[in-house]
Structure 1
């Protein structure tokens, strides 16, 4: 059956089957996730409206909450959760695509590994990259989730994880939802505590990265380590 004879809600799926996934526009991909529109708009029109509201940015769309999405007519809790879940899958896939034992040569290498996890969050999270003595990544993990202004890490858990993976170096990172790149007094204090604990265990703290939506701050680059 030709696409033009199909109901509007079915056309993106038919196009997918006939021409492949790469032929779909962003609004058509979102339309497939949503499944249907509302009584005034077909699914593609509704998808286009949602994307237009975030300047056609998947990144900005990922910042919307369930309540934000439900403000659009035709988006109930089930559709909202489906949209957010699809974006989260893409985010996790990015992490899994990090080549095994990537070598960290500078702060930007570390930032590229963690930016997709930390750049679009509304609350703070604390992550760590664990490295061997050749500065190759052997493990990446989230250690804590916090509030809007801070995420406190347990130094014991950090180094327990490092020891479990036989790590000789670590890079710690957290995000600032406010967009500020300036380290807080708490950031500086916890960095010093982690560095001192690492010295006792012969595990070197190589850097502390603060991540915002589109850039980062490196303690190492700034001479704070």
Structure 2
């Protein structure tokens, strides 16, 4: 039998197997990750359905949507059946999900524990493949006045300008700071440089009666708190 020269479209499936119809009839929660990705791409290749292709893409990242969100257009386009337009659609959808989560977490704007600080910072720092250092500026009710990037790249003392940090704190009327940076390697062990930068900022803040409440090391799945670990 001759191969079908056209992509294996979702429209060719039976009604029970179509993820779009399944979503409409039964709700979004019943769809698998592969079915949701299949809706985004619409069709597979002539030898592979959209769901089968989606399963293959997800398998390549350990069925982890966070890891899928890290793939570039070029990396996604290496899969047969995924062109630039479909790759962009997948990336855009996952980025919208990340921003939605970030907005939901920041809605209250109040941070009362290391876990809550981690949840605020995770959408920003969790998926990065390079290191960034951020500061949360807080008022006396522990509400976030500003979340600001301090540096990008490896963390060293030379990258931290204590005067600029304190100037911004005074402009905002902040009374407390939470420091944070990510470890793309996944390690939660604080380095010597991490500890030195923490102490420099803590000393500078103390002179202005501003508290450094914590310093978090953030990875994709977990965090280390200097405060909880007794390092502040």
For residues 11-43 of structure 1, give each alpha carbon's deviation from its aligned partner in whole angstroms, at most 9, with x where no partner exists.
Answer: 333333333333322112111222221222121
C-alpha distance in structure 2 between counterparts of 1:108 and 1:35, whole Å: 38
Q: Which residue of 1 aligns with 2:11?
A: 6
Count of residue correspondences:
218
For residues 42-99 of structure 1, give each alpha carbon's deviation from its aligned partner in whole angstroms, at most 9, with x where no partner exists.
Answer: 2121112112222322122223333322221112233222212211211111111123
**Structure 1 position 160, deviation (Å):** 4.0
Note if contact 2:138-2:176 (Cα within 8 Å) is conserved in structure 1. yes
Alignment partner of 1:201: what SS? Answer: coil
CA distance 1:112–1:16, change in 2 (3 Å): same
Matches of residues 66-81 of structure 1 in structure 2 within 5 Å? 66-81=73-88
**Structure 1 position 154, deviation (Å):** 4.1
C-alpha distance in structure 2 between counterparts of 1:158 and 1:196, whole Å: 12
C-alpha distance in structure 2 between counterparts of 1:160 and 1:35, whole Å: 51
| Structure 2 residue 109 is the aligned partner of structure 1 residue 101 | yes
| Structure 2 residue 42 is the aligned partner of structure 1 residue 35 | yes
C-alpha distance in structure 1 between counterparts of 2:164 and 2:90, whole Å: 34
**Higher CA-based Rg:** 2
Which aligned segments of 4 or more residues in structure 1 are displaced greater than 6 angstroms?
none
CA distance 1:157–1:47, change in 2 (3 Å): farther
Note if contact 1:37-1:74 (Cα within 8 Å) is conserved in structure 2. yes
Note if contact 2:110-2:141 (Cα within 8 Å) is conserved in structure 1. no
CA distance 1:195–1:25, change in 2 (3 Å): same
Mean CA deviation greater in 136-145 or 66-75: 136-145
C-alpha distance in structure 1 between counterparts of 2:160 and 2:43, whole Å: 43
Matches of residues 27-176 of structure 1 in structure 2 within 5 Å? 27-98=34-105, 99-104=107-112, 106-146=113-153, 149-150=154-155, 152-176=159-183
Q: Which runs of 5+ in 2 are unaligned?
A: 1-9
Alignment partner of 1:39: what SS? Answer: coil
Normalised by the size of structure 2, how large is the TM-score?
0.81
